[in-house]
Amino acid sequence: MDSHLLTVILLGIVEGLTEFLPVSSTGHLILASELLGYDSAEWATFNVVIQLGAILAVVVLYWRTFWGVATGLLGREASSWRFLANLLLAFLPSAVLGLILHSQIETLLGAPKVVAVALILGGIAILLIERLIGTFRYSGVDRIPFSRAFGIGILQCLSMIPGVSRSGATIMGALALGVDRKTAAEFSFFLAIPTMLGATTLESYKARDALMSGATAWGDIAIGFVVSFLVAIIVIKLFVGFVSRRGFAPFAWYRIVAGAAALIWLLAR
């Protein structure tokens, strides 16, 4: 297997493995570029577009939920409209802030030390939230109050700092706002769909010339898409059951150890 294809497969695995875990897929992709020694700017479009594979994994695994919401919307069921409203309210802050701060966010994507520090601080934050959370008051995406859904969306904006983790910010934010573990994880999965579609659409538009000219190989994107989809399917299936039994502390300790190791390595180079 040549090194180029190996990089394609490894990036697909990293994306699928980390997108829905509270460990930061973007941060891992940035650190992977440093570790493997490839040009991260050259793979920026690839890394964003293959997120669609992870999105498809959510759609496939939760198709009954989405079908139920769709038919409920047609039947004017209040629960389905609340489900949709909560997703839109949670998506709105990152959509607005992402457009306003797009250039600043891109600058941070080239800062691996920021990723390492964010991994450590995020791990500490998870441990604190796990200790401080009280009684869970809300179970079911449609039962989350609108104000709490919007609050989760505001907290998702923290993930614009690479290494913070979109899923980590939304899940831990939801827990802090009284949402139970299973609902918090699933709401994060569902919220990933509009959030990642928006990011992919924006990046694809910016890179439209490279995509149309073939400068960014569609074959590489296809392989990365499939790999991230298959890995994400496995991760999502295992994740909800794991956190329901064990909580999020194992991911916190992983972040702290991985971030510290990465920071030591980056400073010692």
Sequence-distant (6+) residues with CB within 8 A of 263 are: 113, 116, 117, 120
| Residues 159-172, mean pLDDT to the nearest whole number | 88
Q: Who's near 80: CB < 8 A, 6+ residues apart?
A: 68, 69, 70, 71, 72, 73, 142
Q: From CA 15, how far away is CA 36, in angstroms rounded?
A: 15
DSSP 58-125: HHHHTHHHHHHHHHHHHTT-HHHHHHHHHHHHHHHHHHHHHHHTHHHHHHHTT-HHHHHHHHHHHHHH
Per-residue tokens: 212: 């149309």
Q: Which domain holds residue 177?
A: 3-268
Mean pLDDT of 157-169: 87
DSSP 8-state code for residue 154: H
The values of phi and psi at residue 179, to 5°, are -90, 140
Q: What percent of the chain has pLDDT over 70?
A: 90
Looking at per-residue pLDDT, the higher value among 168 and 212 belongs to: 168
**Each residue's pLDDT tens digit, 72-129:** 999 989 999 999 999 999 999 988 887 777 666 666 666 788 889 999 999 999 999 8
- The closest of 11, 41, 15, 56 to 167, measured between CA atoms, is 15
Domains: count for the chain: 1
The string of pLDDT tens digits covering residues 194-217 is 988 887 787 777 766 666 666 567
pLDDT tens, residue by residue, 35-70: 777 666 666 777 778 888 988 999 999 999 999 999
225 close to 66: Cβ distance less than 8 angstroms: no
